[in-house]
Structure 1
Amino acid sequence: MSDNNHLCLLGLIFLSSLLTGVSGVDDDHVFISSGEDVRLPCNNALHDCTSTTWLYNRFSHSEAVELIHLGRKKDTESHERLSLGSDCSLNIRNISTEDSGSYICQQWTGEKRDQQQEPDARVYLHVLHVSSSHTEISAGLSVTLFCQLYSYHRVSCDDSVSSERIDLFWVNQAGVKLRSDSRYQISSSSDHCIISLNTTLLNEDHNREWRCEVTHRDQVKSSVTYTVKSSAQADSTPELSSTEGNA
């Protein structure tokens, strides 16, 4: 092979690595609502999960925490909520906003399990959470609902949202996207990871539902539904329910 052809081949290999990511394995993005259970896939798994190690980073500047070491759970705060699937996936029960972040699945081989098998497989876990400005509500009260997406941040929330085309929306019971008008005030934070809905409740709002949805590249990935339970008609706090979309 001529030198020119050799250089051209190397250039194509380098370009391919840039397009597919440094790891060579496409990064996964998993969206879930707080309180749900989740499965994080390990896309580089070998036939034996005793070679599998899972690492976790909450933020880009935080130190990595080892959750699974060569197929065995480590003694961490989330120890009791973790389990390893037969396909080496990481299962986490009762997700909280603190679980959002970057998860890396590694494979270690060799007689002493001291040789890392490339590439790593990375999963970004995004957690959707809704809260209300009031716990006891009634007609005539101005209520603000806050929908926040907790993610792994390299620099800022806006950085990951814009690069991955992640969006948050409030929709009504018919699935129609809500926009600011005389009834509703919809506003987003500067980094686009919090979207709020403010409205003054009416008598007929009892049992009304508003839903916050998160989309990734125009596909709904998860949602949380807020159901109005007026204290004047029902002696209970507002109800929240969540629905995981297609991943």
Structure 2
Amino acid sequence: MLLLLLTLLFVIGAGGSSDYIFLYHRAGDEVIMSCNIVDSSETSCSIINWLYNRDTSGTHTIVRDGQINKVSPQADKLSLDHRCSLTITNISSEDAGRYICRYGNTYEHDTNVYLNILTLSADQSTDPVGGVTLTCTLWRHTYISCEEHSLRWLDEERDELKKDDDEVHYSGQMNCVSHLTITHQSNHSRRYTCQFVKSNEVKISANYTLVSTVDLTSDSTSNKMIIIIIGASVGLLTILVIVGLTVFITSRRKTGAAEEDAPKRARVPDEPETNSEVHQPMQQASLMDEEESSVTYVTVSYRSQNQEALPSSEVREPEEGEEEVTYATVKK
């Protein structure tokens, strides 16, 4: 770090024209880095290169001759505009570090951009007594440290938290990392703010809203009630469907049984037993008619010897004392 600072002082003291820009952003932001060596008359970035390093161990070329280096880990987030400015979308802590815009292979007129990224995260304690630890980190070039007390914590009234109390525990700052533990959550949501301050000037800040356990319990109860209502509705619907199907099946079975019995009742007169009983009297009457048709009846009258015979044309009714006999001949 001392070597880097001496180099910066030497360049400034020697009247060098290199530019040093410090940017502060939060994770997820979009960053635009200007290349100051490009003037307004420049219409092409064909001789512009962008380089990146996180520390002094190595430098990577992310833009070569105006073209994005496809093998760079950041390639899918990088773009170059007509002024050769470098744009990075959806930045994360891995993007923090030093970016250099260089004209050709000369470094006398480099533009040095230091990207600093602030993150704020929460870690829920697994301890039965509860508690949440907030971690505030300023990600930057490895050899640039943070001054003591440069990371500050504020409550929702914008008052700085400097010591422990019944609600929070401040563990202090280690380089560019600071922790704040909330040991007792109040009955309402609270907002906490982490600031990075340099020379009494706030460079960047991030907020975190901590939801109270009461709110969480209320949300949990509401969710349980919703689940119970949905379960009861599904159960009732299932019962209605089962009852409906049972009624439908029963009705269909009764209808089918009635349809099966109807033909049987219609065929009753055609059954052999019934036919024999119904037609037997008719057959007997027919036989009697046939027998009567085959019988010839002849009536013979006779009178005593003292009576005179009459012509056939003068046949009369027998008088008293006369007898009449009827003879029948059966034809077979």
Paired residue secondary structure (1:87): coil
Superposition deviation, residue 202 in structure 1 = 2.4
Partner of 1:180: 163
Partner of 1:232: 217
Q: Which amino acid counterpart does residue 44 of structure 1 have in structure 2?
A: I
**CA distance in structure 2 between the aligned counterparts of 1:38 and 1:170, rounded to whole angstroms:** 26
Structure 1: state its 5+ residue gaps: 1-15, 109-114, 236-247
**Pairing 1:11-90 to 2, within 5 Å after superposition:** 18-20=11-13, 24-46=17-39, 47=42, 48-61=44-57, 63-75=58-70, 76-90=72-86
Q: Which amino acid counterpart does residue 220 of structure 1 have in structure 2?
A: V
Aligned length: 204
Q: Which amino acid counterpart does residue 142 of structure 2 have in structure 1?
A: H
Paired residue secondary structure (1:232): helix
Q: Which amino acid counterpart does residue 130 of structure 1 have in structure 2?
A: L
State which structure, 1 or 2, has the greater radius of gyration over its C-alpha atoms.
2
Which of the two has greater strand per residue?
A: 1
Partner of 1:212: 194
Runs of 4+, deviation exceeding 3 Å: 16-23, 135-138
The answer to whether residue 98 in structure 2 is matched with residue 102 in structure 1 is yes
Which of the two has greater helix per residue?
A: 2
- Contact persistence 2:19–2:110 (CA under 8 A): no
- Contact persistence 2:18–2:108 (CA under 8 A): no
* Identical columns (%): 28
Per-residue Cα deviation, 1:114-171 (whole angstroms, up to 9, x for no partner): x536311111111111111218999x622110101111122xxxx5324xx9921111
**CA distance in structure 1 between the aligned counterparts of 2:23 and 2:119, rounded to whole angstroms:** 14
Per-residue Cα deviation, 1:87-113 (whole angstroms, up to 9, x for no partner): 2221111111010111111011xxxxx
Paired residue secondary structure (1:119): coil
Change beyond 3 A, Cα 1:150–1:22:
farther
Superposition deviation, residue 20 in structure 1 = 4.7
- Contact persistence 2:11–2:18 (CA under 8 A): no
- Contact persistence 1:56–1:67 (CA under 8 A): yes
Q: Which amino acid counterpart does residue 194 of structure 2 have in structure 1?
A: C
**CA distance in structure 2 between the aligned counterparts of 1:73 and 1:66, rounded to whole angstroms:** 9
**Structure showing greater relative contact order (alpha-carbon pairs closer than 8 Å, 6 or more residues apart):** 1
Superposition deviation, residue 37 in structure 1 = 1.1
**CA distance in structure 2 between the aligned counterparts of 1:185 and 1:21, rounded to whole angstroms:** 48
2:146 counterpart (161, 178, 185): 161
- Contact persistence 1:23–1:121 (CA under 8 A): no
Change beyond 3 A, Cα 1:65–1:223:
same
Deviates more, 1:17-26 or 1:88-97: 17-26
Change beyond 3 A, Cα 1:188–1:22:
farther
**CA distance in structure 1 between the aligned counterparts of 2:149 and 2:13, rounded to whole angstroms:** 20
Per-residue Cα deviation, 1:55-87 (whole angstroms, up to 9, x for no partner): 0001122x2111111211111221111111332
**CA distance in structure 2 between the aligned counterparts of 1:116 and 1:107, rounded to whole angstroms:** 6
Deviates more, 1:96-105 or 1:195-204: 195-204
**Pairing 1:101-180 to 2, within 5 Å after superposition:** 101-108=97-104, 115-116=105-106, 118-134=108-124, 141-154=130-143, 159-162=144-147, 167-180=150-163
TM-score normalised by structure 2 residue count: 0.55
- Contact persistence 2:169–2:183 (CA under 8 A): no
